[in-house]
Structure 1
Amino acid sequence: MNPYIVKRVERRRRPSFMRSAWILLNWKARLFLLGVATLLYLMISCLLTVTSLDAGNLASKNGFVEPIVQKTATGTKIGLSSFTGVMMHSESKKRRKSAKISWCKQLGMRPEPGPVVALASFPGSGNTWLRYLLQQATGILTGSIYRDFALLKNGFPAENIANGSVLVVKTHEYKNKAKEGYDKAILLVRDPFSSVVAEFNRRSGGHIGHASISKFRQDNGKMWKNFVDSKGKEWEEMNLDWSTNFSKPLLIVFYSDLVSRTREELSKILEFLEVPFTPQDIFCTLQNKEGIYRRSKSVSKTNNLFDSVLTTYLTNKQTKVFNVLKHIQEMSAKSGRKSKHG
């Protein structure tokens, strides 16, 4: 036989390195690798699904949100050129003429770096809405220690920026070193019942969507009860940690006050941030205060989610935390009055 042909036949029969390695693995190792690959696939799929839900919900609620060039309240347009590499701008002319976010001021970073201010809250406490209000009132972008692609595409191009070039930095972290590196902090607190439901909704329906009632009833309600149990504990720990262990200037803001007395609370926050503002800034913000970042009320499908055991559990935690927070507020107010008269 021709030696050249023999060599070609031998080369064909020689197994590849990957194939040889796979053959050498026993069945347990193969099963383990397949399991890891399947788990990674499911995790990535879930992440992409929630991000798509967020982007879709935000876009549908506001017609279409143009990420790079957005309208201001006066009708002029601004460009966020620093982020064109991240954002996408390939929509049709028809969509560009649809409703967009109306910003009161041109958005941008601080002219000069300022203090690094944490906007700390338990998930589901209105952090994104407060960021929206602050951007409306000041024109200064807000940042985050996270990189939420749905927010990145819809009004928060400074996501993942956590330094003094942004007005505040969103964080849900606590304990250990979570509070290090901040010069000031705003602690936004919402009652645990609303916070837990909002976080459950976010995990199933994105930032402004809702979990289906079947999600709450899954596994005969056991999954929901476990979620309330674990998140109720985290809600307590997070709010107590920031309120009692952060040694630098701290402003406590209750979400219910921000909703019912938006003008007063927003003015107080801006004074704490030492950012100049005018009555016109507040007026324009109030005119556009809903934006696209507040979850619409669900039509009574989430009524009676908390049985007597869960209600007692969360009520006890709320009473404990709110008593501590209100005491801190009172002490801070007395200290402020003394310094003024001092």
Structure 2
Amino acid sequence: MDMIWLASYPRSGNTFLRTILWHCFGLRSGSIYARDLGGNQELEKYVGHVEHSPGGRVLFPPNNPALVKTHEYPVNAKPAIYVVRDGRAASVSLWNFYNRSASLLEIIEGQHRFGTWANHLAAWKPWERKDTLLLEYEELRGNLPLALEKLSKFLQRDIVSRQVPDRGEIAGVDGRWVRNKSDWRDAFTDELLQRFDEINGEMMKQMGYEP
């Protein structure tokens, strides 16, 4: 596979996936977004990030497939690794990433460039899309050995390490792209949860997330 999308709804574990690919498989990755990690070179080293060249291209090392991060809706049928995260946690994380400049309700309702959590999943359909590996963020965090085996099989690459940097260590050099652990329940009111369920409830059930 010459080119593979690293796709997800924003704040769903894409940066952590890229960190795993670098530390556990020795594979660097790029992004469709220039200065994707805010120009933080120390964070780029943790993630294995390849920045855009002056000409706007991402130049990968030899024998390194073009692993490209995107939060956009699919534009072609290229292979993909799609990371899904509990939509409530992703929404709160995106709200914080935007420095709460939009309300959490606006995030839930998709009043931003990436739309709703459910619509993003419906566009990619990672559970049935050809040449696509669906990974849960919760699995990446809670059962890394299993996730590594899935990645190894999909990428047809050997695992070179089973260790990744500590989350707090990475958050210490950034704090925006990688945050310390938090709980979405601290941000959701009953009214917000009801609205979230109206929009995303069916997809949450389909993806196996508890109410």
> One fold, TM greater than 0.5?
yes
Asked if the contact 2:83–2:137 (Cα under 8 Å) also holds between the matched residues in 1, the reply is yes
What is the CA–CA distance in structure 1 between the aligned matches of 2:170 and 2:66, rounded to whole Å? Answer: 20
Asked whether 1:297 is paired with 2:181, we answer yes
Deviation at residue 255 of structure 1 after TM alignment: 1.0
Q: Which runs of 5+ in 2 are unaligned?
A: 53-57, 172-177
Deviations 1:107-147 (CA, angstroms, capped at 9, x unpaired): xxxxxxx4211111000101011101110012221111111
What is the CA–CA distance in structure 2 between the aligned matches of 1:173 and 1:238, rounded to whole Å? Answer: 8
Asked if the contact 1:145–1:169 (Cα under 8 Å) also holds between the matched residues in 2, the reply is yes
Q: Which runs of 5+ in 1 are unaligned?
A: 1-113, 205-210, 217-222, 327-342
SS in 1 for 2:134: strand
Residue 249 of structure 1 is aligned with which of 119, 131, 153? 131
Deviation at residue 170 of structure 1 after TM alignment: 0.5
Q: How does 1:242-281 map to 2 (within 5 A)?
A: 242-243=124-125, 247-278=129-160, 281=161
Deviations 1:166-206 (CA, angstroms, capped at 9, x unpaired): 452110001xxx33162x111100111110111111122xx
SS in 1 for 2:104: helix
What is the CA–CA distance in structure 1 between the aligned matches of 2:153 and 2:59, rounded to whole Å? Answer: 21
TM-score, normalization: structure 1?
A: 0.48
Asked if the contact 2:6–2:69 (Cα under 8 Å) also holds between the matched residues in 1, the reply is yes
Aligned residue pairs: how many? 187
Asked if the contact 1:143–1:168 (Cα under 8 Å) also holds between the matched residues in 2, the reply is yes
TM-score, normalization: structure 2?
A: 0.74
Q: In structure 1, what is the equivalent of residue 85 of structure 2? A: 190
Residue 110 of structure 2 is aligned with which of 230, 240, 249? 230
Asked whether 1:179 is paired with 2:75, we answer yes
Query: Aligned AA for 2:25?
Result: T
Q: In structure 2, what is the equivalent of residue 159 of structure 1? A: 51
What is the CA–CA distance in structure 2 between the aligned matches of 1:318 and 1:188, rounded to whole Å? Answer: 17
Asked if the contact 1:120–1:185 (Cα under 8 Å) also holds between the matched residues in 2, the reply is yes
Change over 3 Å in CA distance of 1:229–1:313 after alignment to 2: same
Deviation at residue 162 of structure 1 after TM alignment: 8.1
Deviation at residue 253 of structure 1 after TM alignment: 0.9
Asked whether 1:124 is paired with 2:6, we answer no
What is the CA–CA distance in structure 1 between the aligned matches of 2:193 and 2:185, rounded to whole Å? Answer: 13
Q: How does 1:114-153 map to 2 (within 5 A)?
A: 114-147=1-34, 148-150=36-38, 153=41
Query: Aligned AA for 1:305?
Result: A
What is the CA–CA distance in structure 2 between the aligned matches of 1:187 and 1:146, rounded to whole Å? Answer: 17
Report the aligned-residue RMSD: 3.0
SS in 1 for 2:159: coil
Larger Rg: 1
Asked if the contact 1:162–1:169 (Cα under 8 Å) also holds between the matched residues in 2, the reply is no
What is the CA–CA distance in structure 2 between the aligned matches of 1:120 and 1:304, rounded to whole Å? Answer: 27
Asked if the contact 2:118–2:199 (Cα under 8 Å) also holds between the matched residues in 1, the reply is yes
Identity %: 25
Asked if the contact 2:148–2:159 (Cα under 8 Å) also holds between the matched residues in 1, the reply is no
Change over 3 Å in CA distance of 1:115–1:125 after alignment to 2: same
Q: Which has the higher contact order (CA 8 A, sep 6+)?
A: 2
Change over 3 Å in CA distance of 1:149–1:252 after alignment to 2: closer
Residue 170 of structure 1 is aligned with which of 58, 69, 74? 69
Q: How does 1:1-342 map to 2 (within 5 A)?
A: 114-147=1-34, 148-150=36-38, 153=41, 154=43, 155=45, 156-160=48-52, 161=58, 165-166=64-65, 168-174=67-73, 178-180=74-76, 182=78, 184-204=79-99, 223-230=103-110, 234-243=116-125, 247-278=129-160, 281-282=161-162, 285-286=163-164, 288-290=165-167, 291-293=169-171, 294-297=178-181, 304-325=186-207
Asked if the contact 1:145–1:162 (Cα under 8 Å) also holds between the matched residues in 2, the reply is no
Asked if the contact 2:7–2:81 (Cα under 8 Å) also holds between the matched residues in 1, the reply is yes
Deviations 1:263-296 (CA, angstroms, capped at 9, x unpaired): 2112212221111225xx11xx24x353515311
